[in-house]
Amino acid sequence: MKLVPLDADYPRALCHLDQPPALTLSGPLEPGRRAVAIVGSRSAPREACGFTHALAYHLAKAGVVVVSGGAVGIDSAAHHGAIAAGGMTWCVACTGRGELFPEENHALFEHLEQSSSSRMIWPFPDGTPKDKLTPRRRNGVLVGLAECVIVVQAGVKSGSRNAITWARHLGRRLFLVPSTPWDQLYEGTLIEGARGGAEAVWSTEQLFRDLRLPPPDMSDPAAAWSGIKPLKRPLRKPPTQRQTYSDGPLFAVDPSTWSEDEKSVFSCLSMAPIQQDTIVDLAGLPTSSTLTALLTLSLKDVVVEGPDGFFRRRIAI
């Protein structure tokens, strides 16, 4: 299956890329599904892969599509975790169809290509081999398809840091699994964390709360990878005496009181930031009417702006 940007089924989120690529797919993508990207080191230790497998497993169980790049290490753990849950995972390849990289994951790619729900996605012309640039260009597609990006153990010079750059460029929410300061192999995570604009992931339960997902069943033994089970950490409850950024709207939400313009504009938004001009196009309203509706929805605390010129839903309705 092939899609170009002008096709009705082409992922609208990829239209924010400077040069949206033609895609070759192993099957249709399901629009409207929440998708989370998980990337990280190819040389990650077993404990990190075990945490990633469990995290992807629980996300897939919650109906979230797990997006990754098919590399060994963290990417593979993410794909296999979603598969173990019977959920959906999308692998965005760094080659064109007909080429294979890495060869170690041939069985994984074959499984995804034959799957009735998970997908292989090739953002390059058929027969394009992997080179120094294809993984970086691939990362733009991988990040663009997701509402947020989770990075597990990034090296100083790594493709994971390139994915972080794409997340900042496209306005995607960014989560980092903290690494220890004495482990220089994954110092890239610490450097990116110090730059700001990223949120820490210290437990699966906390991430689910931040993403407004139902609490995961942490007792499910199928989430374990190669016998490694995630550490049990108590879920710290958010303070109840004050409103926090992720607590949702300050006021009761009653869409029946919204104007038709506000309803139209809100229907075009998702939990991932969308550029202002794109919202105008999707809403089909005059620019002034769209901007007025965005302002009113912001005042009602159901829409937030960030980064500048990008808007997203504060809550899912």
Question: Pick from 198, 221, 244: which residue ends a domain?
Answer: 221
Q: What is the CATH number of the domain that holds 261?
A: 1.10.10.10
Whether the model pTM is above 0.85:
no
Q: How far apart are CA 87 and CA 116, in angstroms?
A: 11
Summarised one tens digit per residue, pLDDT across range 11-47 is 999 998 989 999 999 999 988 899 999 999 999 989 9
Question: What was the pLDDT predicted at 186?
Answer: 87
Task: Please tell me whether residues 136 and 280 are part of one structural domain.
Answer: no
Task: Please tell me whether residues 109 and 188 are part of one structural domain.
Answer: yes
Task: Please tell me whether residues 107 and 195 are part of one structural domain.
Answer: yes
Question: Pick from 221, 236, 263: which residue ends a domain?
Answer: 221
Question: What was the pLDDT predicted at 229?
Answer: 57
Task: Please tell me whether residues 173 and 306 are part of one structural domain.
Answer: no
4 lies in some domain? no
Task: Please tell me whether residues 176 and 294 are part of one structural domain.
Answer: no
Based on the structure, what is the number of domains in the chain? 2
Burial of 264 (0-12, 13-18, 19+ CB in 10 A): middle
Question: What was the pLDDT predicted at 315?
Answer: 64
63 lies in some domain? yes
Summarised one tens digit per residue, pLDDT across range 210-235 is 999 999 999 999 998 765 555 555 44
13 lies in some domain? no
Q: Provide the residue range defining the domain that includes 54.
A: 19-221
Question: What was the pLDDT predicted at 181?
Answer: 78
Task: With a cut of 70, list the residues of the chain below it in pLDDT.
Answer: 226-253, 315-317
Question: What was the pLDDT predicted at 252?
Answer: 53
Region of residue 62 (left: phi > 0; alpha: psi -120 to 50; beta: else): alpha
Alpha helices in 171-245 (DSSP H): 187-195, 204-210
237 lies in some domain? no
Task: Please tell me whether residues 178 and 264 are part of one structural domain.
Answer: no
Task: Please tell me whether residues 46 and 174 are part of one structural domain.
Answer: yes
72 lies in some domain? yes
In sequence order, what are the residues at sequence separation of 6 or more whose Cβ sits closer than 8 angstroms to the Cβ of residue 65? 30, 33, 34, 35, 36, 82, 87, 88, 89, 90
Q: What is the CATH number of the domain that holds 87?
A: 3.40.50.450
